Structure 1
Amino acid sequence: MSQYCFLIPIYNHDKTITATIERLLPYELPIIIVDDGSNIHTKEVLAILAEEHKSLILLYTLPENRGKGGAVMAGFQVATEEGFTHALQIDADGQHDSDDIPKFLALSEEHPGALISGHPQYDESMPTSRRIGRKITHFWVHIETLSMQIKDTMCGFRVYPLYQTVGVIKNGHIGTRMDFDIDIMVRLFWAGTPVLFIPTNVIYPQGGQSHFRALQDNVKISWLHTRLFFGMLPRIPVLLFRKFRT
């Protein structure tokens, strides 16, 4: 039987995390929060939340910042050790529409071995530079997977099947920062994990705090696509067989 939890990586989102948690409480699922070396203000807010909701919240603190991917992977380890089979990752900054959570859980229950990911539907709040960057990434992902099945690789609103995900992480060097979402999805696809998508509204809140570093993270993502392209080459026979079989 599937056992679900929420997983929230957080780094200095003290102004939005309380509202995020309040939107999750009605689902009565355990919430794993991974504090990725946040500042003192965020730690104080997290301590209050953990005390107020001690029956649901498990707070795990990293001694130093590992990046989004590093925090999520630490959360996977905690979730696995706690006996969960699936982790629904949602961001701490309020971008994701929590009203869609029942859709994610229902589809995951129907396909327990699949990665369920949001397919973002953006409004005018999305910066133009981010929109262009996503289109470039999607172009390369279609090449790296030899498939048009992957609709989006950069949305962090997902339900991960932990057995498959932890296995992929153990067998490869996965990006630990903003390259993580792309890297883990492509490698799960390579490993034969079904990837299913649900349209979901994503916003860039006014005054919101983004930890995307334009230069450093774009360089990391560019290097990631180089590694994934060459990683795809020996997999071409398997990917083509799978493509034409379906």
Structure 2
Amino acid sequence: MTRDTAELGFSPPDRILITFGPAALGLLLTVSVPVAARWVLRLPAPLPFRPVLVALGRVDAWGELAVLGALLVAAGMFAAAALHEHLAHITVTREQVRLGGRVLPRADIAAVHPDGESLVVLDRQSRQAARCVPRARWGVLARTFREFGYPWSDTDPYADLYRPWTGVDELPPEIAAVFAARAVALRKRATEEAGELRATLEKLGYSVRDEGDRQHWRRLVQQ
């Protein structure tokens, strides 16, 4: 039977792992960290953060372990909530795709492909229409997008058009200035500013892809 809608979220094992795994790790660390600290303190070598290790090594009473456990479990629960917030649930229909809170009509989508941990959707001008880190696994994503007739690609279809930005490229001065500003933002790890400058470059007719703090660029391709 042909499906009209596909909900792409965590698989049952992934949901259990992400929901309860960080808290379980917190409980494991509650038991293992004091033991490991006492073992490290016996090593015949100078140790950085020795006062911290001494304090952890002294945690052996039930009350102290309970406090440490509560703190680590709370940190694990916070990490699990952050993962649920950061990873996107995707809904695919014949007419549109919903990535988190973003809705893209099928007619506006020229390509869908993975890029590292992210899923990227390109529009008809080869601009990055959406990017997210999906909850579903890549095999499920590929099968579903193909099933619904979307132009899935296992790699960036325009990857061969990119060239490294060197700072001495033959680009118009106003374009070169934006790339230079974005290079500074990447070095400072100013993610929001780098994203805004990416959008500026796309409005000016250029696409940019990052490899670490190095930029690669190409001109937009109209479809």
**Considering the TM-score relative to the shorter chain, is it more than 0.5?**
no
Q: TM-score, normalised by structure 1?
A: 0.22
Highest RCO, 1 vs 2 (Cα 8 Å, sep ≥ 6) = 1
Higher percent of residues as strand: 2
